[in-house]
Chain A
């Protein structure tokens, strides 16, 4: 994957997986979904939707996701850049908006825009768990 791409991962309920794939596809993103099968033989407990997206497209995709989390049961949204991950557990639309702002700052840093690198947006500590894990 080229450096100007990011990986979007959404952990969700089974009934949300395919609608999310379809919703992302209508926005031009080739997403895939899979249940996770554990060796212990338990019924599938978690599903994930995954897609590689161009950095420039990612904010729009995330904004669209902000709408989708209102409709579907989503446990986690995660965006992975080369060396950083942005994560929200149990997201609400407002958290996704915050993630977009964080993502844009991180992406500008990644693409070498020094003026943007130090720009940070205060997160809502009560509602968003945005964890850079570099």
Chain B
């Protein structure tokens, strides 16, 4: 969609500040990039200025949701550069490239790091109970601890190829969207046919004999997703813009730094491919967190990981062409040389393939914890308490929990599981922490249906979910049961069952485990929450029930 009229006055600084605050929240510190100082970012932006005529404003976002994004149609376009995203990417890169980590250890560390990133995201997306669970799941097995990377760490990193890619690849990707929006036609590497073939090949590899089912599912969803051809063209466009500008900018920055001898076309390509993998893991964490936190339909894109693979292939193809033509991709390309370079790049990628494969395994385990409640463990707090007996692990637990609680405070998030976490780490011994856990057991009340071989939690089929109500007061559960009895078939009984647990999350896990047939649409609502109030209101006004 082109929303730009022929003559639109530029948005002034106050309006731009309001736009940025509207997206990141008023409490997050933001500032516009000062173009008058000499630093690597401004050298990079100087190169951007040479190829992009549309005005743009880069805003730093210090903290908040770790998201980079752009509003390319505005005048000037707005690009948000998030420091927390940068820190997370730096952290993942440190883990993935640490040669001291053998495969099994890398797998373990990858799971823990992924869980902690997903936990932070879930906390920010508004599900503190799940966030606490995922954080605690990540802690007891921490035999190797990677200190989280801070912005200061990244600023102290010597200027190098790695520095340039970590700091600027994502920024340039967003500026690539601005560039693509303001030119007439996209030109994906290898052409439209190449991209179409690539999408087909990658989806076929991912989904195998279920490819047709997936295609049908996407068609019925009636909304665009990240595998949509046009979406992919736009993303590939932005990736390729980033690659092109980064090559030129890196040469200039290294030259200014007096380290131009360190420049290597191949190694920069390797760093870019590595960065693509890191972005893939971050995207994957975002996707899992959105699903896990049960954000509204449409907030999470299930095909994101597949689309990332298409983009990685497109970048590899483009890098081969770019290097073969000395940067003039529209000029003559010797196909043999391009093929050789593609093979070289695959070889570079394969050098870190062992680490990527190990990382994938740990990351996949973290994803399952986020996505499938029935696979989560019921005893994570118990395991946490036991882990206090091991000094190095106790150090990790305290450090990570304190960091997490500080984040929750900064977000003004309150939840009983956060209080429990704070109480547990405030006790210096395993015995004392176990006592805290024992005293914090709560009774959750659930309507339970039995009879004719059935013995399971009782839920109500709404228009969009199978809803199980969890009560904390006897009066409410009894009223619910009385109201529900008329719809229970003859031969079945409805009674109250109490679930004792220190956390709401354990109740959710239990209900998912006990209702295998309803898992795909199961929603658990706790008395006292907004979701509960919404469902009760729907029951009262009749909008709860499906139309059948």
Do A and B share a complex?
yes
Please give the residue numbers on chain A whose beta carbons come within 8 Å of chain B beta carbons, in ascending order.
Answer: 1, 5, 7, 9, 14, 17-18, 21, 25, 30, 32-45, 48, 50-52, 78, 80, 85, 133
B226 contacts A43, C-beta separation under 8 Å = yes
- Closest 10 A/B residue pairs (Cβ): A34-B73, A1-B14, A43-B224, A7-B18, A33-B3, A80-B18, A34-B71, A42-B301, A39-B68, A40-B283
Other-chain contact of A43, B67, B71, B223, B311 (Cβ < 8 Å): B223
Cβ of B500 < 8 Å from any Cβ of A? no
A selection of 14 A-B contacts at a CB cut-off of 8 Å is A9-B18, A9-B19, A33-B73, A34-B74, A35-B71, A37-B234, A37-B238, A38-B67, A38-B69, A39-B67, A39-B174, A48-B71, A50-B15, A85-B21
Contacts of B8-51 to chain A: CB distance below 8 A = 8-9, 11-15, 18-19, 21-23, 26
Provide the bound-state CA to CA distance between A41 and B231, in Å: 8
Cβ of B527 < 8 Å from any Cβ of A? no
Provide the bound-state CA to CA distance between A18 and B298, in Å: 22
Contacts of B301 in A (CB 8 A): 40, 42-43
Cβ of B342 < 8 Å from any Cβ of A? no
A7 contacts B19, C-beta separation under 8 Å = yes
Cβ of B84 < 8 Å from any Cβ of A? no
B224 contacts A50, C-beta separation under 8 Å = no
B69 contacts A35, C-beta separation under 8 Å = no
Contacts of B73 in A (CB 8 A): 32-35
Closest A-chain residue to B14, C-beta based?
A1
Provide the bound-state CA to CA distance between A44 and B292, in Å: 21
Closest B-chain residue to A31, C-beta based?
B8
Contact mask B68-87 → A, CB, 8 Å, 1/0? 11111111011000000100
Contact mask B138-161 → A, CB, 8 Å, 1/0? 000000000000000000000000
Provide the bound-state CA to CA distance between A34 and B3, in Å: 7
Smallest beta-carbon distance A24→chain B, Å: 11
Contacts of A133 in B (CB 8 A): 26
Smallest beta-carbon distance B290→chain A, Å: 10
Contact mask B216-230 → A, CB, 8 Å, 1/0? 000000011110100
Closest B-chain residue to A2, C-beta based?
B14
B71 contacts A52, C-beta separation under 8 Å = no
A32 contacts B304, C-beta separation under 8 Å = no
A42 contacts B226, C-beta separation under 8 Å = yes
B307 contacts A14, C-beta separation under 8 Å = no
Closest A-chain residue to B537, C-beta based?
A126
Smallest beta-carbon distance A54→chain B, Å: 13
Contacts of A44 in B (CB 8 A): 224
Contacts of B226 in A (CB 8 A): 40-43
Provide the bound-state CA to CA distance between A30 and B7, in Å: 9
Smallest beta-carbon distance A80→chain B, Å: 4
Contacts of B69-108 to chain A: CB distance below 8 A = 69-75, 77-78, 85
Provide the bound-state CA to CA distance between A5 and B9, in Å: 15
Smallest beta-carbon distance B276→chain A, Å: 11
A17 contacts B311, C-beta separation under 8 Å = no
Closest A-chain residue to B74, C-beta based?
A34
Smallest beta-carbon distance A75→chain B, Å: 10
A39 contacts B173, C-beta separation under 8 Å = yes
B1 contacts A17, C-beta separation under 8 Å = yes
Other-chain contact of A52, B14, B282, B307 (Cβ < 8 Å): B14
A37 contacts B14, C-beta separation under 8 Å = no
B15 contacts A7, C-beta separation under 8 Å = yes
Contacts of A18 in B (CB 8 A): 1, 3
Cβ of B124 < 8 Å from any Cβ of A? no
Smallest beta-carbon distance B337→chain A, Å: 30
Cβ of B235 < 8 Å from any Cβ of A? yes
Closest A-chain residue to B9, C-beta based?
A30
Provide the bound-state CA to CA distance between A42 and B219, in Å: 16
Q: A33-B73, A133-B26 are in contact. List 6 more A-B contacts (CB 8 A).
A: A1-B13, A34-B3, A39-B67, A43-B228, A50-B11, A80-B18
Provide the bound-state CA to CA distance between A36 and B20, in Å: 12
Provide the bound-state CA to CA distance between A38 and B71, in Å: 9
Smallest beta-carbon distance A97→chain B, Å: 22
A50 and B19 contact, Cβ closer than 8 Å, known pairs A21-B3, A30-B8, A42-B304: yes
Closest A-chain residue to B3, C-beta based?
A33
Contacts of B232 in A (CB 8 A): 41
B74 contacts A43, C-beta separation under 8 Å = no
Provide the bound-state CA to CA distance between A48 and B21, in Å: 13
Closest A-chain residue to B180, C-beta based?
A37
B231 contacts A43, C-beta separation under 8 Å = yes
Provide the bound-state CA to CA distance between A50 and B76, in Å: 12
Contacts of A5 in B (CB 8 A): 14
Smallest beta-carbon distance B488→chain A, Å: 33
Closest B-chain residue to A52, C-beta based?
B15
Contacts of B231 in A (CB 8 A): 41-43
Cβ of B308 < 8 Å from any Cβ of A? yes
Cβ of B321 < 8 Å from any Cβ of A? no
By CB atoms of chain A within 10 A, which of B18, B22, B85, B235 has the most? Answer: B18
Cβ of B371 < 8 Å from any Cβ of A? no
Contacts of A50 in B (CB 8 A): 11, 15, 18-19, 74
Contacts of B238 in A (CB 8 A): 37
Contacts of A48 in B (CB 8 A): 19, 22, 71
B12 contacts A52, C-beta separation under 8 Å = yes
Contacts of A7 in B (CB 8 A): 14-15, 18-19
Cβ of B299 < 8 Å from any Cβ of A? yes
Provide the bound-state CA to CA distance between A17 and B1, in Å: 10
Provide the bound-state CA to CA distance between A85 and B283, in Å: 31
Provide the bound-state CA to CA distance between A44 and B283, in Å: 15
Smallest beta-carbon distance B335→chain A, Å: 29
Cβ of B287 < 8 Å from any Cβ of A? yes
